[in-house]
Amino acid sequence: MTETNGIDALAEEADVAFEDGEYETALEVFEEVLRRDPEHWGAALGRAESLHMLWRTEEALEAVRALKPQDDEEDDPDRSDLEGRILEALGRFEEAEQRFSEATRLDAEHYPPATRLGSDVFRTLLDKVLTSLPQVIREAVVEVPVVVEPKPTPEMADREPDINPEVLGLFVGTSVGDKVYAGSGYGDVVLLFQRNLERAGRSREEVSREIKITLLHEYGHYLGFDEEELEHLGLG
């Protein structure tokens, strides 16, 4: 196997690990690719995104900005979008929107504008979705309310280490039949992350669908379904 083929195989291995949510492994392999080929663009972006998903946010921002071209060169839409997501994780929403807009300008097909909604409009969509849920879920909502937050935070991740900055929703608390207390800092709630959900759909209708899927998934966790069971039910 030539060195180039070996690097390509390593980069693919890193991509697979990232897609599987194995971000630590992905980071290690992306860094090995960069050790062998410091100019490997995909690995450099993958390293920055892995840092982002691991909540190493300041490092991720430094890494992705190191890839920004000179002022007289066109930016890469993947890079611009990633910088926006990292800035968003830092709560720097205005700066993030500038980067998202640039990604849209460069590649509107793959990076369409997010369906940004005011809090009242989002709540109206949410209320409509709640009325459409199966009865068993509507009954669960009475016991476990929905709380809308702009984004996941590092503090949430400290208590719920499996979440990442791009997650759409999260059940925190104790599932039915499980008496082990989960020290989340919340009571039993389902959290929805508005900015992530807005970017998941190209229209209000698509955002509504993502809200519904997320609610069904997270209340499924409350009702005691594991990930495999949720996948079987079409809620993965």
Instruction: Check pLDDT > 50 for residue 180.
Output: no
Half-sphere CA count of 16, side-chain side, radius 13 A: 6
Q: According to the model, what pLDDT value does residue 225 have? A: 64
Instruction: Check pLDDT > 60 for residue 236.
Output: no
Distance CA 25, CA 91 (A): 27
User: What global pTM score does this model have?
Assistant: 0.87
Domains of the chain: 3-106 (1.25.40.10), 119-232 (3.30.2010.20)
Higher pLDDT, 3 or 16: 16
Q: pLDDT-based confidence at 181, cuts 50/70/90?
A: very low
Residue-wise pLDDT tens digits, 115-129? 999 999 999 999 999
